[in-house]
Amino acid sequence: MSISFEGRVAIVTGAGGGLGRAHALELARRGAKVVVNDFGGARDGTGGSTAAAQAVVDEIRSGGGEAIADGGNVTSASDMEAMAAAALQAFGRIDVLINNAGILRDRTFAKMDMADFAAVVAVHLLGSANATKAVWETMRAQKYGRVLMTSSTSGVYGNFGQSNYGAAKAGLIGLMNVLHFEGEKYGIRVNAVLPTAATRMTGDMLDEQTLAHLAPENVTPAALYLVSEEAPSRTALLAGAGTVSRMAIVETEGVFLPQSQRTPEAVAAAFADLARLDNAIETEAGLAHVERIIARAKAAAIAAA
């Protein structure tokens, strides 16, 4: 199977460097018309310039592709609406959105200023929501859309000193899960990629030998698959250093506690059994979990009658 983006229009936020640049260049190589968005700020989100976005646009055009630059800030809903309008004016449609823009303000929670907590959540989580909202109606109207959230192992597994970043990245998994259901009947598929890559945000955290394995281009194949025509939906792929794997949220079968035994002590006594992952279940939706536990309660009530 050959994956092509001929005739497709893609927006990539935070595409002035690192992962976003790699995604934008490969989309263009495969035929997409690309909106290269980058606010042009520093790693902590301060400052701003369109130079980085324009440099990627120039690179795409020099290779024979079509692209425009956008300097909108993802934290501004009006900037994202203007970005979507510019894409429509230039190219007539919007097929793909890769939410990639991000900043870092790492500190331990004890030392973190809550303004820094809010700033990181605003860019990663609210910024992704702003950009997605700006393209959502266009995708619904054309009955086609592919949206990719950029999450992180810091969100699903945790990482020291990144409470703000981890909270935002975990939130993107929740946003993906909900938008999957809301976009399904309109041909919109929503996924997430969890990259491990050497970028401006991580380059000073790792040694040179490790960085050599973590080129952003190693994440792009998974990202582009997740926004392709044949992409799944509500799927999270981890990608980096040549490995691609799937991340899933599972729950254990659980232990049913009769009415007379619903105490903290009973939970403590049953913990070893209820925490076992031998028969882990990947639940399809929040209501599916509710239906499962209600069915179990009803069956126990009938058995006790």
Q: Give residue 42's pLDDT.
A: 58
At which residue do the structure tokens 């409470």 appear? 163
Q: Give residue 114's pLDDT.
A: 98
Beta bridge partners of 188: 145
Q: Give residue 202's pLDDT.
A: 53
User: 186 an active-site residue?
Assistant: no
Q: Give residue 166's pLDDT.
A: 97
Angle between helices 163-183 and 114-121 (to 10 degrees): 30
Q: Give residue 21's pLDDT.
A: 98
- 141 CB-contact burial (10 Å; exposed 0-12 / middle 13-18 / buried 19+): exposed
Nearest to 227 by CA among 57, 67, 4, 1: 4
102 Cβ partners below 8 Å, 6+ apart?
A: 14, 123, 124, 150, 201
pLDDT beneath 50, residues of the chain: none
Q: Give residue 50's pLDDT.
A: 85
The answer to whether residues 152 and 140 touch, using CB atoms and an 8 Å cutoff, is: no
Q: Give residue 203's pLDDT.
A: 52
The residue from 144, 157, 165, 186 that is catalytic is: 165
Q: What is the pLDDT of residues 259-291, one digit of tens each?
A: 999 999 999 999 999 999 999 999 999 889 989
Q: Give residue 64's pLDDT.
A: 98
Q: Give residue 232's pLDDT.
A: 98
